[in-house]
Chain A
Amino acid sequence: MNAFADVHMQVMWNRLISVVEEQARTLIRTAFSTSVREAGDLSAGVFDRQGRMLAQAVTGTPGHVNAMAEAVCHFITDIGPDNIFEGDVYITNDPWKGTGHLHDITVVTPSYFKGNHVGYFACTAHVVDVGGRGYGPDAREVYEEGIFIPIMKLVKRGEVNTDLIHMVRNNVREADQVVGDIYSLAACNETGQNRLNDMLEEFGLDGIDTLAAFILEHSERATREKLKDLPHGSYENQMTVDGYDEPVTLKVRLDVTQAGIVADFTGTSPASGFGINVPLVYTKAYSFYGLKCALAPEIPNNSASLSAFDVVAPEGCILNAVHPSPVAVRHVLGHFLPDLMLGALAKMAPGTVPAEGAGALWNVHVSVRPTAEQLARNPASRGAEVLVFNSGGTGARPTKDGLNATAFPSGVHTMPIEITEQTGPVVFWRKELRPGSGGEGTHRGGLGQVIELAPAPGYDIRFNAMFDRVGHPARGRDGGGDGAPGSVSLDDGTTLKAKGTQHVPPGKRLVLELPGGGGFGDAKERSAEAAERDRIEEYVAGENL
């Protein structure tokens, strides 16, 4: 390949990343789901005709992105290569072929240029509701978790499948928003397709096969280059977390060889009877993310850069749950996988990876309902579903403290309290750092946070708890202390369960203390300045001024 052609390829690769970025921005601006619009819980990407992911928007969360990387191949198989036409749009929320639970809707659009099929655009978003029991871990089978849309055509050669829209409309709460999001997903792929066609026009190309080969070859070579000096061997790690009704043990053995890295989850607990189970696709997504962060962070995500990694998990274990296991809150265990990976890598390369962190997001999903008296006073009183993402502390790093109240591994944002309180009659009385919750160490674990919330007068609250690290705190590394465990209670001191639907009576506040991250290294080695700073800023203990 001559120098000019090589530069063309680079420019087009950059352009392709810009195309998916535009695709994602379109979705963020038009989506209804709180999690997409405020929290960036979405992903968008472009794929070649074989379903290999070439580029993804950087806004995506790891769970979506890496799962979506596999999804497109399922679409090609299930729709059938001969049944793919210009003007088609495909859809699914199949947890096993999409991104792990019914709340994520994935839409795939075959992309055509001058009548020829050139590739696919795909995007995924977490929608407000999918019917069933609502978002929470209480279901015993996936059937209870909501409507299941197998891979099918949403649009057939330009014609919308109105039967499907009617089915969805009649099976979900907040139907307008959910249907609105489905259309937004389709529109976002259309944006991608239009931009891609502009690019092909500009560069005088018929398709993206040559570009795809270039991207995949360069990414794979760079990834292999990164991995080639790793010491071959097997490295094990094990982590026990709360689970739903009994502790869950996550176990991994990383086999590092010439061929790449295989994560083997043999020995992990069996599937749970509740919705904390993880489909394999989501297990892969977060395992790969953890490995990539530690080993090849600057290589962009695509099929080739992910191909150096593989996962083996016994069928029926909690990290390879099979249909019809309930999977609604698969993120809780999924979010622990990067820490599980990092722990194993610490054995391969001691002193280079962070301590454990809070891991799973503490998503608070509350249903606020008017009390009978309130309805008698004002029959127009309306309840609301309120969803907020919150994060504990991350693990301390080998050279730095952990991050206070920051999402890891998830890539989401929290929502402003002022926006959340506009959506329903709920009041957040406290949302601030939790002093003393970071694990001690040469470098301190990140602090968790404290949240207090209550229904507005005249309302009460049911909420779906899906919290972890209450019984099993984040462990420190290399002599660092553990982070503080989380706790779930009422303001009168009543302890609540960390998982499942519960009630906050009128007049009471729900108090959530989010876990802190683990410390790194011996606390005695902590610098005097850092210790003094902890004291005066009250990151550990103290009083005002």
Chain B
Amino acid sequence: MAQGSVRLGVDIGGTFTDIALEVAGHIHSTKILTDHDRPEEAILKGLHKAAGEAGVALSDIAIIIHGTTLATNALIERSGAKTALITTEGFRDVIEMRTENRFEQYDLDITLPPPLIERRHRLTVTERMNAQGEVLIPLERAEVEALTDRIREAGYESVAVGFIHAYANGVHERLVREVFEDRAPDIPISISSEVSPQVREFERFNTVCANAYVKPVMASYLARLVARLKDAGTTCPVHVIHSGGGIVDVETAIQFPVRLVESGPAGGAIFATHIAARYGLSQVLSFDMGGTTAKICLIEDMRPKTAKSFEVARTYRFKKGSGMPISIPVIDMVEIGAGGGSLAHVDAMRQIRVGPESAGSEPGPACYDQGGEHPAVSDADLILGRLDPDNFAGGSIKLSTARAEHALSTDVGEPLGMDAEQAAYGLCEVVDENMANAARVHAVESGKDIGAYKMIAFGGAAPIHAARLCQKLGIDEFLVPPGAGIGSAIGFLLAPFSFEAVRTDHMAMSAFDADRINAIIDDLTEAAEAFVSEATGGGGLERECQVFMRYRGQGWEIPVDIEQDRFTPADAANLTTLFEETYTRYFGRPIDGLEIELVSWAVKVSSPTPPVQQITHLDRQTDATPAGARRLFDIATETWGDAVTCERTALVPGDGITGPAVIVESETATVVPQGYEATVQSDGCLRVRLTASKGA
């Protein structure tokens, strides 16, 4: 397996394309500016660079795992294909009417996000299913044929089909596909009963529209990429990471490109999950803070929390409801507008507000001295001594303390009667509180107590803010893994082959039908295995099964994990017990006397992940040699103190650093406050723990 040990992870982000080349367990990484017109060229460039450094030939690479924001970008920038939606007569405007709600109550001037497919491209046919999946109006083939011809003549590049209750019976949608394959075989077609067979028409229709909309652009990109890689001399297959945190082959990615949306952040969650497994941590909060946003994910028992739907392309201050819903299995994350570049201002209540507006990389925070005039989080970090003005980004950017002070004083200090340092303190407290609140609300929705968690912090700004966030959340320990700057690309290398199939099938517990359930599970397993076994050669696949349940009358289902894969009528009692236990964990107590309903089923099939090498905590054995000292503001005690600084690259396992301290590396800095101690672990992680009792 000498050859098998060379693996490549590639993450195309909005700014950078990250390359992680693993050779015999060692990671060679590089960052290349993303090429927006020809994304594959940046990959090739980075690949040559990393392979050259590692001294391997491209033909030595055994597997390439790729994640990309291209699908997400096409949705945000509305740069997808000319797409038609075929839908049920009477429901032409489902994706335009949305939820009929304004996501911001007090803004009379609000703009709602426009539908992905405009009204003139939404066409209807006469057909109808009822909620039980029985045909109320049959679909006439002749009508579909006529419509197909019109669509072909009108020059559409892609077609989405979404019929009411198609999750319960997809026969009409499949008929449409059949006719297209017959009469317009060149037009790619996506049907909702296959892309996302879940109840709730707005979410399902929007998902199938998104799939169709990005399909041509993703198909063309992936084909180019595969060809370019082959030309360059690679011989291995290319695989693609999906939003659920697993990998699939290129053909599946081309069929279901909507599953690639948000796959980059999923890589970060897998990265954190792997660290959690290494350290045997059963409850982990993954905290990824970059330049514009922070993402928070809960990881339980070495599995990231998942959801059946999420929202992309939010148009209004990251506000829930201002984007478009996508109902596919996804690693569940909250994302808020809080990053190193997030800008602060003082509002009408004389309160400091931070984000979601961001200085971006151009002009960047005021301290970059590139014309940024408003104070960003990084400016405050600089003033509080957390960033070294002379040693930022490996010394490539010299930070201007004077610019940062000026921006903080002008925009925050003067309106509030504070000096620049106090303003910096206030700014950091507000942004940290925002992130802590997002984490808390997320935990509540998941029925969890956040204080029992450990944190894993990565991304450029996370290690700077991790300690304060932990204090606010009552978390006593966090880990900063090495390679945190390219966490997603490394995460891709750790992802299993996997596919999750989900389907709504509404059943009352009093009408428990074991045979039907067995059939659903078989169907879903078969569907999911088809995507995975081709790539893995089958065999040894692991299966996880969930049923989404609720009390009759409720609108939110909770996921119940089930171990068994065969059901008998007697299992109604077991499922009832499982549901009540899960419900209690979420909401405190079960409710007597109410009917329980089984709503949706999910089966996830994955290749086994290689056993993770467990690491035992390394205690402090040696004192790290300080590289210098600087003044550092301690937020908890609101005092300045003298902190030591260390170069992370100079540290060796077993080194201990007592706070207050700042551990500097090229992409970030880890702040170790007073009362905390950092120890370097055998895998290079920094483990930062509370040693003293909590401050004020």
Contacts and interface: CB of A to CB of B under 8 A. Distances in A.
Contacts of A18: 437, 440-441
Interface string A405-446: 111100111111111011000011111110000000000000
Nearest to B445: A25
Contacts of B165: 418, 421
Contact of B100 (A399, A406, A421): A406
Contacts of A183: 591
Given A18-B440, A18-B441, A537-B119, A10 B100 contact: no
A10 B154 contact: no
A412 B101 contact: yes
Contacts of B203: 416
A180 B119 contact: no
A153 to B, nearest CB: 21
Contacts of B130: 421, 427, 456
A6 B346 CA distance: 13
Contact of B554 (A31, A292, A449): A31
A151 B213 CA distance: 55
A399 B109 contact: yes
B106 A293 contact: yes
A416 B128 CA distance: 16
Given A397-B108, A432-B97, A32 B553 contact: yes
B352 A10 contact: yes
B434 interface: yes
Contacts of A7: 352, 422, 425-426, 429-430
B444 A191 contact: yes
A489 to B, nearest CB: 16
A202 B107 CA distance: 35
Contacts of A406: 100-102, 112
Contacts of A17: 437
A79 B294 CA distance: 46
B96 A418 contact: no
Given A222-B349, A422-B506, A433 B154 contact: no
A14 B430 contact: yes
A539 to B, nearest CB: 7
Interface string A322-347: 00000000000000000000000000
A29 interface: yes
Given A11-B429, A412-B101, A545-B154, A538 B119 contact: yes
A456 B105 CA distance: 37
B93 interface: yes
Given A456-B130, A537-B118, A545-B150, A297 B108 contact: yes
Given A14-B437, A21-B441, A413-B101, A29 B506 contact: no
A509 to B, nearest CB: 11
B388 to A, nearest CB: 25
Contact of A414 (B100, B348, B417, B586): B100
Nearest to B444: A22
Interface in A266-301: 292-294, 297-300
Interface in B66-122: 89-94, 96-97, 99-102, 105-112, 118-120
Interface stretch (B31-39, B194-202, B260-268, B518-526): B194-202
B25 interface: no
A411 B123 contact: no
Nearest to B599: A422
A71 interface: no
B347 interface: yes
A37 B136 CA distance: 29
In this complex, the member of B106, B136, B352 whose beta carbon has the largest number of chain A beta carbons within 10 angstroms is B106
Nearest to B118: A537
Contact of A416 (B202, B430, B593): B202
Interface residues of B, number: 76
B551 A418 contact: no
A418 B97 contact: no
A249 interface: no
A195 B167 CA distance: 40
B550 to A, nearest CB: 9
Given A15-B437, A18-B440, A183-B591, A297 B106 contact: yes
A40 B437 contact: no
Contacts of A195: 440
B200 A416 contact: yes
A225 B348 contact: yes
Interface string A527-545: 0000000001111000011
Contacts of A496: none
A144 interface: no
B445 A29 contact: yes
A400 B109 contact: yes
Interface string B420-453: 0010011001100110010011001100000000
B416 interface: yes
Nearest to A191: B444
A465 B62 CA distance: 67
A33 B164 CA distance: 24
Interface string A206-247: 000000000000110110011000000000000000000000
A299 B150 CA distance: 52
A404 interface: yes
Interface in A5-54: 6-7, 10-11, 13-15, 17-18, 21-22, 25-26, 28-34, 37-38, 40
A115 to B, nearest CB: 23
A407 B444 contact: no
Contacts of B352: 7, 10
A416 B99 CA distance: 8
B696 interface: yes
B418 interface: yes
A172 B179 CA distance: 53
Nearest to A544: B123
Contacts of A422: 131, 199, 506
B621 interface: no
B99 A29 contact: no
Contacts of A415: 555
Given A416-B200, A416-B202, A218 B99 contact: no
Given A411-B105, A537-B119, A32 B506 contact: no
Contacts of B102: 403, 406-408, 411
A405 B199 contact: no
Contacts of A37: 554-556
Contacts of A128: 553
A36 B92 CA distance: 27
A25 B203 CA distance: 21
Contacts of A545: 120, 123, 150, 154
A422 B198 CA distance: 13
B119 A539 contact: yes
A413 B321 CA distance: 10
In this complex, the member of B92, B100, B102, B506 whose beta carbon has the largest number of chain A beta carbons within 10 angstroms is B100
Interface string B195-224: 000011111000000000000000000000
A299 B108 contact: no
29 contacts: A3-B418, A4-B425, A7-B426, A11-B429, A14-B434, A25-B445, A26-B444, A26-B587, A33-B553, A38-B555, A176-B591, A177-B594, A180-B551, A204-B696, A299-B348, A405-B97, A411-B102, A412-B101, A413-B100, A415-B555, A418-B199, A419-B199, A427-B128, A427-B136, A430-B89, A433-B119, A449-B93, A452-B90, A545-B123
Per CB-CB distance, the 3 closest pairs between chain A and chain B, nearest first, are A37-B555, A430-B90, A18-B437
Interface of B: 89-94, 96-97, 99-102, 105-112, 118-120, 123, 128, 130-131, 136, 150, 154, 164-165, 167, 199-203, 347-352, 416-419, 422, 425-426, 429-430, 433-434, 437, 440-441, 444-445, 472, 474, 506, 551, 553-556, 586-588, 591, 593-594, 638, 696
Given A389-B100, A427-B130, 19 more contacts: A3-B417, A6-B416, A6-B418, A7-B430, A11-B430, A18-B440, A22-B444, A28-B556, A34-B553, A176-B594, A202-B474, A297-B106, A403-B112, A411-B105, A415-B555, A419-B555, A430-B91, A431-B90, A431-B97
